[in-house]
Structure 1
Amino acid sequence: MLVVKGLWRWRHNPLRRATDLAEAWVALVALILIAVAAPVTGCLVGTAAQDALQRSVRQQRHSHRLVVATVVRDRGRAPLEADPDTTTAREVRSRVVADWTGPDGTRRRGAALADLKSPRPGDHFRLWTDPHGRITTRPLDSPTATTHAVLAGVGAALLTAAVVESARRLAVWHMVRRRYARWDQAWDRAGPDWGKAGTGS
Structure 2
Amino acid sequence: MRAISGLWRWRRNPLRRGTDLAEAWMGLVALLLILVVGPVIGSVIGGVAQDALQRSVQEQRESRQLVTATVIRKLDRSLLDTDPETSTGRDLRSRVLADWTAPDGTTHEGKVMADLQTPHRGDHFSMWTDLHGRTAARPLDSATATTHAVLAGIGAALLVAGVIEGSRRFAVWRMVRRRYARWDQAWDRAGPDWGRTGTGS
TM over 0.5: yes
Counterpart-to-counterpart distance in 2, 1:30 and 1:123: 64
Deviations 1:4-56 (A, max 9, x none): 99567534211111111111111001100110011111111111111111111
Query: Mean alpha-carbon deviation: is it higher for 144-153 or for 6-15?
Result: 6-15
Counterpart-to-counterpart distance in 2, 1:169 and 1:75: 61
List aligned pairs for 1:95-134, cutoff 5 A.
95-134=95-134
Percent of paired sites with the same residue: 67
- TM-score when scaled to structure 2? 0.85
Indicate the residue corresponding to 2:18 in structure 1: 18
Alignment RMSD, CA only? Answer: 2.7
Q: Is contact 1:3–1:24 with CA below 8 Å preserved after alignment?
A: no
Distance 1:14 1:183, change over 3 A: same
* Structure 1: runs of 5+ lacking an equivalent: 82-87
* Paired residue total: 193
Q: Is contact 1:30–1:168 with CA below 8 Å preserved after alignment?
A: yes
Amino acid at match of 2:119: P
Counterpart-to-counterpart distance in 1, 2:36 and 2:199: 54
User: SS of the counterpart of 1:19?
Assistant: helix
Counterpart-to-counterpart distance in 2, 1:16 and 1:152: 43
Counterpart-to-counterpart distance in 2, 1:20 and 1:9: 6
Counterpart-to-counterpart distance in 2, 1:185 and 1:138: 69
Q: Is contact 1:92–1:115 with CA below 8 Å preserved after alignment?
A: yes
Q: Is contact 1:78–1:113 with CA below 8 Å preserved after alignment?
A: no
Indicate the residue corresponding to 1:62 in structure 2: 62
* Structure 2: runs of 5+ lacking an equivalent: 82-87
